[in-house]
Structure 1
Amino acid sequence: MAFANLLEHVGGMGRFQVASVLLLALPVLMMASHNLLQNSPPATNDHRGPKTDPCRDGWTYDRSVFTSTIITEWDLVCSSRGLKQLAQSLYMAGVLVGGIVFGGLSDRFGRRSLLIWCYLQMGTMGTCSSFSPTFTVYCLFRFLTGMAFSGVVLNSVSLSLEWMPTRTRALVGTFMGYCYTTGQFLLAGIAYAIPDWRWLQLTVSLPFFCFFLYSWWLTESARWLVMVGKSHQELKELQKVARINGKKEEGDKLDLEALKSYMQKEMASSRSRHTVVDLVRTPVVRRISCCLCFLWFSTSFAYYGLAMDLQNFDFNIYVIQLIFGAVDIPAKLVSILTITFVGRRFTQSVALILAGVAILANILVPRDMRMLRTALAVFGKGCLAASFNCVFLYTGELYPTVIRQTGMGLANTMSRLGSIMAPLVKMAGEVFPVLPFIIYGAAPVVSGLVATFLPETRDTALPETVEEVEGRERGQRTAQERHKSSTD
Structure 2
Amino acid sequence: LEEEDNFRGDLRTHALRKVSQQEGSCPTGSQSLEKLRRLRALDSKQDDKLANVLDAVGEFGTFQRRLVALTFIPNMLSAFFLYADYFVFTHQTPYCNTSWILAVGPNLSEAEQLNLTLPRARNGSFQTCLMYLPVSWDLNSIITFGLNYTEICQDGWIYPDSKTRSLVNEFDLVCGNEPSKEMVHTINLAGILSGSLIFGSISDRFGRYPAVLLSLLGMAIFGFGTAFVGSFRQYLFFRFMVSQAVVGYVISSVSLVMEWLVGEHRAHAIILEHCFFAVGHLAVSGFAYGIPHWRLLFLVGGMPMLPFVSYIWIVQESPRWLMMKGKVEEAKKALCYAADMNKTLIPPSLLKELHPLGKKLTKASILDFYNNKHLFKVVMAMGCVWFTVSYTYFSMNRKMKQFGMNVYFGQVILGIMDVPARLCYIFFLEQIGRKWSLTLTLTQATIISFILLFLPQELKSTMVVVLVLGQFTLASTVTVFFIYTAELLPTVLRSTGLGMVSLSWAAGAILSLTIFSQISSQLPIFLCCICSILALCFTSLVPETQDQPLYDSLHHLSRSRDLSPMKTGEEESLSDDASDEGLENTAPDDPPLILDPYDLSDAAPEKPYDMEEPSLDS
Q: TM-score, normalising length from structure 2? A: 0.72
Q: How does 1:323-472 map to 2 (within 5 A)?
A: 323-429=413-519, 432-472=520-560
Contact 1:118 1:152 in 2 (8 A): yes
Q: Give, in angstroms, the shift of residue 479 of structure 1.
A: 6.8
Q: Which residue of 2 aligns with 1:259?
A: 351
Alpha-carbon distance change, 344 to 478 in structure 1, aligned in 2, over 3 angstroms? closer
1:135-146 equivalence runs, <5 A: 135-146=232-243
Which of the pair is proportionally richer in helix? 1
Instruction: Report whether the alignment pairs 1:39 with 2:86.
Output: yes
User: Alpha-carbon deviation of 1:302?
Assistant: 1.9
**What does the per-residue CA deviation read over 1:127-151, in whole Å, with 9 as the maximum and x for residues that have no partner?**
2322222222111111111111111
Task: After TM superposition, give the deviation of residue 357 of structure 1 in Å.
Answer: 3.4
1:182-201: CA deviation from partner (whole Å, max 9, x where unpaired): 11111111111113222212
Percent sequence identity is 27
Deviation at 1:63? 8.0
Post-superposition Cα deviations, 1:229-282, rounded to whole Å, max 9, x if no partner, equal 1111111111100100001xx24x53xx74352x45x62367642111122221
CA displacement at 1:354 relative to structure 2: 2.1
Unaligned runs of 5+ residues in structure 2 are: 1-44, 96-119, 131-151, 575-618
1:125 to 208, 218, 222: 222
Alpha-carbon shift at residue 305 of structure 1 (Å): 3.1
- How many residue pairs align between the two structures? 476
How far is the alpha carbon of 1:15 from its aligned partner? 0.6
CA distance in 2, matches of 1:141, 1:223: 34
- Give the direction of change, closer, same or farther, for the CA distance of 1:479–1:446 in structure 2 (3 Å limit): closer
Is the CA contact 1:331–1:383 (under 8 Å) kept in the aligned structure 2? Answer: yes
Distance 1:308 1:455, change over 3 A: same
Could you tell me which of 269, 276, 283 is aligned with 1:186? Answer: 283
Structure 1 residue aligned with 2:317? 220
The 3-state SS of whatever aligns with 1:300 is: helix
Deviation at 1:101, TM superposition (A): 0.5
Matched residue, 1:19? 66
Deviates most, 159-168 or 330-339: 330-339
**TM-superposed deviation, 1:66:** 5.9
CA spacing shift, 1:398–1:131, aligned 2, 3 Å: same
How many angstroms apart in 2 are the aligned matches of 1:375 and 1:17? Answer: 39
Conserved? CA contact 2:76–2:277, under 8 Å: yes
1:285 aligns with 375
| 1:206 to 1:457, Cα distance in 2 relative to 1, 3 A | same
Partner of 2:256: 159
Greater shift, 388-397 or 351-360, is seen at 351-360
Please identify, of 337-346 and 301-310, the stretch whose mean Cα deviation from structure 2 is larger. 301-310
In the TM superposition, residue 91 of structure 1 has moved relative to its aligned partner by 1.2
CA shift at 1:353, angstroms? 3.2
Q: 8 Å contact 1:285–1:469 — kept in the other structure?
A: no
SS state at 2:573 partner: helix
Amino acid at match of 1:259: L
Instruction: Tell me how far apart the structure 2 counterparts of residues 475 and 52 of structure 1 sit (CA, whole Å).
Output: 79
Would the aligned equivalents of 1:220 and 1:237 in 2 still touch at CA under 8 Å?
yes
Could you tell me how far apart the structure 1 residues matched to 2:172 and 2:206 are?
Answer: 44
Q: For the structure 1 residues 417 and 272, does the alpha-carbon distance in structure 2 shift closer, same or farther, using more than 3 Å as the test? A: same
Worse-superposed segment, 296-305 or 450-459: 296-305
Query: Do the aligned partners of 1:90 and 1:143 also contact (CA within 8 Å) in 2?
Result: yes
Q: 194-203 or 353-362, which moves further after superposition?
A: 353-362
Counterpart CA distance in 1 for 2:93 and 2:395 is 23
What residue number does 1:476 align with? 564
The range that moved more, 125-134 or 160-169, is 125-134
Cα 1:461–1:288 change in 2 (3 A) is same
Q: What's 2:337 paired with?
A: 240
Note the C-alpha offset of 1:415. 1.8
Given that residues 264 and 430 in structure 2 are in contact (C-alpha distance below 8 angstroms), is that contact kept between their aligned partners in structure 1?
Answer: no
Go from structure 1 to structure 2 and tell me whether the alpha carbon gap of 1:129 and 1:435 turns closer, same or farther (over 3 Å shift). farther
Cα distance, 1:123 vs structure 2: 1.1
Amino acid corresponding to residue 461 of structure 1 in structure 2:
P
What SS does structure 1 have at the residue aligned with 2:371? Answer: coil
CA contact (8 A) 1:32 1:184 kept: yes
- For residue 100 of structure 1, the aligned residue among 178, 186, 197 is 197
* In structure 2, C-alpha distance between the alignment counterparts of 1:214 and 1:203, rounded to whole Å: 19
Q: Distance in 2 between matches of 1:21 and 1:415?
A: 25
- Aligned 1:34-73 pairs, distance under 5 A: 34-40=81-87, 42-45=88-91, 47=93, 51=121, 67-73=164-170
Please report how far the alpha carbon of residue 311 of structure 1 lies from its aligned counterpart in structure 2 after TM superposition: 3.5
Bigger mean CA deviation after superposition, 349-358 or 190-199: 349-358
Aligned partners of 1:101 and 1:62: how far apart in 2?
Answer: 42
Q: Residue 276 of structure 1 aligns to a residue in which SS?
A: coil
Q: Are residues 418 and 66 of structure 1, via their aligned partners in 2, closer, same or farther at CA, if it must alter by over 3 Å?
A: farther
Contact between 1:349 and 1:451, CA under 8 Å: does it hold in 2?
yes
- Tell me if the contact between 1:76 and 1:84 (Cα under 8 Å) persists in the aligned partners: no
Q: Which runs of no fewer than 5 residues in structure 1 stay unpaired?
A: none
Cα-to-partner distance string for 1:170-191 (whole Å, 9 max, x where unaligned): 1111111111111111111111
The C-alpha deviation readout for 1:412-448, integer Å capped at 9, x for no partner, is: 222222233332332123xx34333333443233213
* 1:162 counterpart SS class: helix
- Paired residues of 2:278 and 2:416 also in contact (CA < 8 A): yes
Distance, in Å, in 2 between the alignment partners of 1:393 and 1:86 is 32
From 229, 246, 255, give the equivalent of 1:149.
Answer: 246
> What is the distance in 1 between the residues matched to 2:361 and 2:262?
26
Amino acid at match of 1:218: V
- 205-214 or 432-441, larger mean C-alpha shift: 432-441
State the secondary structure of the residue aligned to 2:326: coil
| Pair 1:445–1:482, CA change in 2 (3 A) | closer
> TM-score with structure 1 length normalisation?
0.90
Aligned partner of 2:54 in structure 1 is: 7
Shift of 1:18: 0.3
1:88 aligns with 2:176: no
Q: CA RMSD in A?
A: 2.7
Q: For the Cα contact (< 8 Å) 1:297–1:415, is it kept in 2? A: yes
Q: Structure 1: how far apart are the matches of 2:94 and 2:462?
A: 29
The structure with more radius of gyration: 2
Is the 8 Å Cα contact of residues 65 and 195 (structure 1) preserved in structure 2? no
Q: Secondary structure at the match of 1:345?
A: helix
Checking the alignment, whether the CA contact within 8 Å between 1:125 and 1:142 is kept in structure 2 is yes
Match of 1:172 among 269, 275, 280: 269
Deviation at 1:465, TM superposition (A): 1.7
Query: How many Å separate the matches in 1 of 2:160 and 2:273?
Result: 36
Change (3 A) 1:398 1:82: same
1-side partners of 2:397 and 2:539: how far apart? 23
2:543 counterpart letter in structure 1:
P
Query: Is residue 127–residue 202 contact of structure 1 (8 Å, CA) maintained in 2?
Result: yes
Equivalent AA in structure 2 for residue 51 of structure 1: A
